[in-house]
A = this chain, B = another copy of it.
Amino acid sequence: MFRYRMIVEYDGSQYVGWQRQENGPSVQGAIEKAILSASGDVVSIRGAGRTDSGVHAMGQVVHADLSREWSPFKLQNALNAHLRLAGERVAILDVTSASEFFDARFSALRRHYLYRIISRRAPLALEAGKAWFVAKTMDHEVMHAAAQTLVGKHDFTTFRSAHCQANSPVRTLDRLDVTRSGDLIEIRATAQSFLHNQIRSFAGTLKLAGEGRWTPDDVRAALEARDRKACGPVAPPDGLYFMQVDYPDVIVDRRQETETTDDDDDLS
């Protein structure tokens, strides 16, 4: 077996999500089909994050085991050609050979997400499906202040989906920054892993702060309530982008790592 690491971009709007499912086309399925067409190998690939339906990616990371050795350059071109032929909105940005100890999901040190909000009066024409349209005026500085109450190691029960399968609601949020450029408000989130719907729950709650309906202290109180009902409305998937995954320079053995790393899913 020859393992390859791939960096993947996709427009999530036409997919049921990253993961292969019965109810429709998935990004995982699209890439697995392209691998089958290119190589004849029936594979099951693993992604660093199991993004929901409608969530986009600029830097999803995947590993795949193929039966023969490929030049990464040729493999990338072959997969992109098959994805394009199949009309998929998926592109393989990079392919590298990887050690057998590299696991796209379990070797991940940090995951980086971006949530985009466009705050203006007019609905979105060019950015439809690519950002959350919010007609109200928002104060991004209040949003940023509120976000800082969430950074650090906390029980994030308030901000995870009722369907979240993680064993523990405790996560360490490294970064949650809110910036603005014109009508565009960007929320950048970094953590080793996230709970299901965590970033969309943050975005929906921070919107309330941006509109002046919640203070940063209200956001802190929601966190401390450890109660799903204390969360603001979950923001739509359209604005969420899986941006980047960091890995150790020396990829450790997966069996060692599962002992030190929380193995819960990243279902933001």
A interface vs B, CB < 8 Å? 9-11, 56, 58, 76-77, 80, 83-84, 88-94, 120-126, 128, 130
Contact = CB atoms under 8 A, between A and B. Distances in A.
A134 to B, nearest CB: 14
A93 B80 contact: no
The 9 nearest A-B residue pairs measured at CB:
A91-B125, A91-B122, A9-B125, A89-B125, A93-B122, A11-B126, A10-B125, A91-B123, A11-B125
Given A11-B128, A128-B11, A92 B56 contact: no
Contacts of A10: 125-126
Most buried by B among A77, A121, A130: A121
B124 A91 contact: yes
Contacts of A90: 125
Contact of A80 (B92, B94, B122): B122
A82 to B, nearest CB: 11
A126 B76 contact: no
A130 B126 contact: yes
Contacts of A126: 9-11, 56, 58, 89, 130
Contacts of A89: 125-126, 128
Contacts of A124: 91
Contacts of A121: 76-77, 80, 93
A218 to B, nearest CB: 30
